[in-house]
Structure 1
Amino acid sequence: MEIALIISRCSTTESKQDVTRQSEELRCNYGNTYQIIKEFSYYKSGTKNDAVNDDILEYAITNNVKHIIASETSRISRKISSFALFLEKCNENKINIIIDNYKLHTLLENGEVNGMVQTMLSIASTFAMAELRLIKSRLDSGRAKYIKEGGKLGRRVNSTKNSKQLLTEHSDIVKFVKQNQSIRNIMTLTGKSSGTVQKVRKLVLEPA
């Protein structure tokens, strides 16, 4: 059984998606076909994740991973140039990218480049970038309308707990963060949401 890794990414502003759900669906769809040895699950903008993609490629090349699986092109990157570079490096190292929502493979079974699929994915990455621009445009328009009608942006005064209180309340998360447990494991161990785990983890790991 050939080895593979999974990429599960969400932007920190995406509430409709969750990296855990992505990972579980990909494992369910491909776990019987490939030996999945690594998951890169994280929250970061798809326009600012080049460094993470570099780490993914380095891991794949070093460990002779032959397949990289993602739910859609935007999970790898929302920048056309970044996705194209990622694809090019995978081609150079004979690494097949599998895009689940289209059931596409960038390499043929003999390891040769699947030209038709790569053209389709280039178009898909263009749509991913256009989608991001549309989302930003709608958000900016909504904010402008809200402010024009007298609304105020930002957190309400005293609406959030201070850092010390948050760390005390979620001491179980703090313990597992200090043990270098993954976000997914901490969610399972504590039964708490990814948002809460992320918030506490950031406080714990922030330099004093």
Structure 2
Amino acid sequence: MENQVLNAVKKAKYIRVSTVEQNVGRQLKTDDNVKLYEDKISGLIPFNERPAGKRLIKDIQDGKINYVIIHSVDRLGRNVVEMQKQLNWFIENGVQIFAENIRMELLNDDGSMNSIAKMIIDLLGSVAGLEIEAIKERQKQGINIAKAKGVYKGRKVGATISDDKYFNRHKDVVELLKDGLSINKISKYTGKSFVTIKKVKTRLENAV
């Protein structure tokens, strides 16, 4: 397909929510002439491996869709690299993207990415990365302060944590297990060991 947005607009709206998200109403709003593609799956799953994502890709390749509405670019991937990868695929296939949260079409008339949109996407990714690092740094500082005061001893040998805290610690694994993914795939997507995922799975089964 030529690298341009086609004149005949064939719209679709892509929605992704995880199995634990509650507020989906703002994403579901759409016009009657817009085809809806909805995934209820963890954002850790690559776009082209999601059921609705795969259907949308096929319809684009078949020439049925050339304009995709999303609530925000983070619906396309779990990090900036994956978002950019999917956006580049849309560009290469002449698909216009409209992001509702910034009220902007992401492509120029020639099919290239809008410079302002690209800047916003990169900024969002940078902020998210900085926030993760800030959380890790605060945790490290808190432990160091506790150690200096002699009140931090780490977890005692044989000590256990509640199911809620344990599942919250491995929230990504829990989501993917509920989505029915294999342990090998979950390990691939989360970077966590086979043993850790197996423990989460066993504890989740026992908690039911």
TM-score by length of structure 2 reads 0.52
Amino acid at match of 1:52: P
Counterpart check, 1:24 vs 2:22: no
Which whole-Å CA distance do the structure 2 matches of 1:68 and 1:143 have between them?
44
Residue in 1 aligned with 2:190? none
* Matched residue SS, 1:38: strand
Are 2:12 and 2:69, in contact at CA under 8 Å, matched by a contact in 1? no
Counterpart check, 1:3 vs 2:15: no
C-alpha distance 86-134 of structure 1, shift in aligned 2 (>3 A): farther
In structure 1, stretches of 5+ residues that fail to align are 11-17, 162-176, 181-198
CA RMSD of aligned residues (A): 4.0
Which whole-Å CA distance do the structure 1 matches of 2:88 and 2:129 have between them?
18
Q: Deviations over 1:99-122 (max 9, x none)?
A: 3332222235x6833423234323
C-alpha distance 77-52 of structure 1, shift in aligned 2 (>3 A): closer
Which whole-Å CA distance do the structure 2 matches of 1:33 and 1:202 have between them?
46
Residue in 1 aligned with 2:6? none
Are 2:96 and 2:111, in contact at CA under 8 Å, matched by a contact in 1? no
C-alpha displacement of 1:139 = 3.1
Residue in 2 aligned with 1:52? 46
C-alpha distance 85-41 of structure 1, shift in aligned 2 (>3 A): same
Which whole-Å CA distance do the structure 1 matches of 2:81 and 2:121 have between them?
12
Are 1:84 and 1:122, in contact at CA under 8 Å, matched by a contact in 2? no
Q: Deviations over 1:80-117 (max 9, x none)?
A: 33322222112112334443332222235x68334232
Q: Could you say which structure has the greater relative contact order, defined with CA pairs below 8 angstroms and 6 or more residues apart?
A: 2
- When Rg is computed on C-alpha atoms for both structures, the one with the higher figure is 2
Q: How many residues align?
A: 153
In structure 2, stretches of 5+ residues that fail to align are 1-9, 164-177, 181-199
Percentage identity across paired residues of the two chains: 14
Matches within 5 A, 1:13-162: 19-21=21-23, 23-28=24-29, 30=30, 34-42=34-42, 49=44, 51-56=45-50, 57-64=53-60, 66-71=67-72, 73-77=73-77, 79-107=79-107, 112-116=111-115, 117-149=117-149, 150-151=151-152, 157=159, 160=162
Q: Which moved more, 1:83-92 or 1:56-65?
A: 56-65
